[in-house]
A and B are shown apart, each in its own frame.
Chain A
Amino acid sequence: ETGVTQSPTHLIKTRGQQVTLRCSSQSGHNTVSWYQQALGQGPQFIFQYYREEENGRGNFPPRFSGLQFPNYSSELNVNALELDDSALYLCASRSGLQPDTQYFGPGTRLTVL
């Protein structure tokens, strides 16, 4: 296993609600990225955090926000949930020593009704 954990594994919400997803990075990894994977698609980059600062963002609206903590764990927050937000949310961590190698967690499957 990669050592990256995510919680919860599954979640059901209704439209308009807010959700927080959590990720614990592999030990020693100071960079975490979040991806959204809709059914039948490849993962899409949401944003990246390095040393508690967002330092890269994909084409996602501001209602997708995040945090990274001093221990490098991370949260993804999504406000005003929409039906199209139903997806597998993946976090990936990496270290500065191996910047090209990202290790993915098992993901959180979010269903918005």
Chain B
Amino acid sequence: RKEVEQDPGPFNVPEGATVAFNCTYSNSASQSFFWYRQDCRKEPKLLMSVYSSGNEDGRFTAQLNRASQYISLLIRDSKLSDSATYLCVVNLLSGSARQLTFGSGTQLTVLP
């Protein structure tokens, strides 16, 4: 079983749609949680951190359920520029190293 599992998609949605991505993680010792965005052939970039209380950044809302070991990302009013791969990431303290563990990513294409 993968440590971080995501639906690979692809998700093809029209502009203006709302789209939700889900992710589960297996290691209950995971300490912090993130969504990264990766454009084609580019490096991953931090989109937002994820907290149990839920957090929102403009059109993006992230939620963490520690009991279910489940993370979600909601994108409202999708824009063409949201087309990218979205990576669910957990941060595990292994010894003295903070190790980011990535899911395989969910590909999103927003269509005009």
Contact = CB atoms under 8 A, between A and B. Distances in A.
Contacts of B100: 33, 35, 43, 45, 92, 102
B45 to A, nearest CB: 7
A56 B91 contact: no
B104 A40 contact: yes
Contact of A56 (B46, B87, B94, B104): B94
A106 interface: yes
B44 interface: yes
Determine chain B's interface SS by DSSP, over half rule: strand
Nearest to B31: A100
A42 B104 contact: yes
Most-contacted residue by chain B among A55, A99, A104 (CB, 10 A) = A104
Interface string B59-91: 000000000000000000000000000010101
A55 B96 CA distance: 6
Given A48-B97, A56-B97, A58-B99, A41 B104 contact: yes
A33 to B, nearest CB: 7
B108 interface: no
Interface in B39-55: 41-46, 49
B-side interface size class: 20 to 34
A92 B42 CA distance: 13
B102 interface: yes
Given A48-B97, A56-B96, A56-B99, A42 B105 contact: yes
Nearest to B101: A45
Contacts of A7: none
Interface in A85-106: 88, 90, 92, 94, 99-102, 104-106
Top 10 nearest A-B pairs (CB, nearest first) are A56-B97, A42-B102, A104-B43, A48-B97, A45-B99, A55-B96, A42-B104, A100-B32, A43-B102, A55-B97
7 contacts: A42-B4, A45-B101, A48-B97, A48-B99, A56-B98, A99-B98, A109-B41
